[in-house]
Amino acid sequence: MPSTQGVQALQRRFPAVICCRLGVSRTDTGFVAHLDILLPQHQIILNRAAPDCDTALRAALDAAAEHLVAIAKRDPQHVLKAA
């Protein structure tokens, strides 16, 4: 399942991640992945919907990586260095 591997990849790439919570909810039309990432001085909360569970998870993890890259450009000490 991409969720465990995806979270581990984010934590390896961005060692300052303190906590990462990932959940999936079923809806009438598919699935919604809920992702909450805690960093020193930052928090990212994302929801991504898709017709299937794996696509929703990948979309949330990909969006999180994009957000983390953007934060790292502005504030690298709070994303790239472990606390």
Digitized pLDDT (tens) for each residue of the chain, 83 residues in all: 567 888 888 888 888 899 999 999 999 999 999 999 998 888 999 999 999 999 999 999 999 999 999 988 888 776 776 55
Enumerate residues 6+ apart whose C-beta is below 8 A from 79. 14, 16, 39, 42, 68, 71, 72
Domain count, the chain: 1
Q: What is the CATH number of the domain that holds 40?
A: 3.30.160.100
Containing domain of residue 58, as a range? Answer: 2-78
Query: Does residue 38 sit within a domain?
Result: yes
Residue 83 resides in a domain: no
Radius of gyration of the chain (CA): 13
Whole-structure pTM value: 0.86
Sign of the CA dihedral with 20 first, then 60, 46, and 40 last: positive
Do residues 35 and 49 touch, judged by C-beta distance below 8 A? no
